[in-house]
Structure 1
Amino acid sequence: MPNMFTYYKEYKTWQKKYDPMAPKEGDEAPDFELHDINGENPIHLSDFRGKKPVALIFGSFT
């Protein structure tokens, strides 16, 4: 059974490559587009920039 350090080397390699590209605290979030719950209307994060805070919740509520 692998322990938590089994993939540590692979994780550190991945982190060195991708972590510098990750947004930092205080950075402006990159814009993206999602569709409303009906899949009809596109919604952009930038539509809310400068307004109230945005909370993204992913899941199925059926």
Structure 2
Amino acid sequence: MAETFPDMAATMEWHEKHGASAPGVGDLAPDFELYDVAGETSVHLSSFRGDRPVALVFGSFT
């Protein structure tokens, strides 16, 4: 973040303008759609709602 916002004032200004983007505790996660590696089959997060807990892990594992 230091490269994007070199000073704290710019960081605070950006945060006040854009606000928090994460849902709060107990809120429903926003729905989104992802495709498989081949780009052929899509899955919506909402299709799992009420079925069982879902853990989403994003990152680079290389």
Q: Tell me the distance in 2 between the aligned counterparts of 1:40 and 1:61.
A: 23
- Give the aligned CA root-mean-square deviation in angstroms: 2.5
Match of 1:11 in 2: 11
TM-score by length of 2: 0.69
Give TM-score scaled by structure 1 length: 0.69
For residues 24 and 52 of structure 2, the distance between their equivalents in structure 1, rounded to whole angstroms, comes to 20
Q: How many percent identity over aligned positions?
A: 52
Greater helix content: 1
Is the counterpart of residue 29 in structure 1 residue 33 in structure 2? no
* Deviation of the 1:21 alpha carbon: 5.0
Whole-angstrom CA distance in 2 between matches of 1:14 and 1:22:
15
1:11, distance to aligned residue in structure 2 (A): 0.9
* Whole-Å separation in 2 of the counterparts to 1:36 and 1:49: 19
Distance 1:57 1:21, change over 3 A: closer
Number of residue pairs matched by the alignment = 58
SS in structure 1 opposite 2:34?
strand
- For 1:24, what is the secondary structure of its paired residue? coil
**Unmatched runs of 5 consecutive residues or more in structure 1:** none
Structure 2: which 5+ runs fail to align?
none
